Amino acid sequence: MKKILILISIFIVSVAFSYYIMNNTMSKNTDNIAIERVVENLEKNIDIDDNDLYRSIYLAWGCFWCIEWAFENEHGVMSAVSGYAWWTKSTANYKQISTGETAHRETVKVTYDPMKITFENILDTYFWYIDPYDIWGQFTDRWYQYTTAIFYKNDIEKNKILEYINNHDFEDNLATKFVKIESFYEAEEEHQNFAQKKSWNYDRYFQGSGRKDYVEENKDKYK
């Protein structure tokens, strides 16, 4: 009888140990799969906020058509997405925003590789393309939705922006605002990559708005 009890005890311990090994192995495999998926997403999805590979910054500087194009040609910029910063999702559409009756600004989300282009380089291009002293828009684009702003995600970014401003010879009447980002809504597909989709329309707008001449005159200051 004792032998039978001993054999049963050994069997129970063996089964329990095997279950523990199998469960632990499955857990590790699950963790490995999860890690692999995260890495895969980081490699494929560049339209995301800060991670180990990329950084992002949200910039409002008038009509987003011009600015999206400007950053798409910068070495180290992974993507430039047109959208609307702040206020509500229900009003984040071009039809309502173009009336000037919402609290959105036309904004571009710039995702970049900090190993190839710095935060300061991003701001150089930003100020190269804008008139930072215009309080009611940019060039021929007037009203609140076209006013300039640099949106920061945390105090580290805020301090870097302020340091940049202090290191450059801006006048006291700087109109560009520094605002903490609360929300960002991607613009309609027709507004993405506008310069590539409708190059003729874009060229006419870029020239006719007066921004092209300003950019050419301002080039030596930032580039």
User: Domains along the chain?
Assistant: 55-222 (3.30.1060.10)
Look at residue 1 and give its three-state secondary structure: coil
Q: Which residues pair with 57 in a beta bridge?
A: 110
Q: Answer for the pair 219, 93: CB distance below 8 angstroms, yes or no.
A: no
Between 136 and 71, the more confident residue is 136
Look at residue 143 and give its three-state secondary structure: coil
**Those residues with Cβ within 8 angstroms of residue 13's Cβ, 6 or more apart along the chain or in another chain:** none
Q: Is 63 annotated as catalytic? A: yes
Model confidence at 75: pLDDT above 50: yes
Q: Which residues pair with 179 in a beta bridge?
A: 151
Looking at residue 28, its pLDDT comes to: 41
Q: Which candidate in 60, 63, 77, 78 is catalytic? A: 63
Name the band, by pLDDT with cuts 50, 70 and 90, for residue 21.
very low
Tell me how far apart the alpha carbons of residues 158 and 179 are, in angstroms, rounded to a whole number.
9
For 175-192, how does the pLDDT look when each residue is reduced to its tens digit (9 = 90+)? 999 999 999 999 999 989
| C-alpha angle 137-133-203 in degrees, rounded to nearest 5 | 50
Q: What is the pTM assigned to this prediction?
A: 0.76
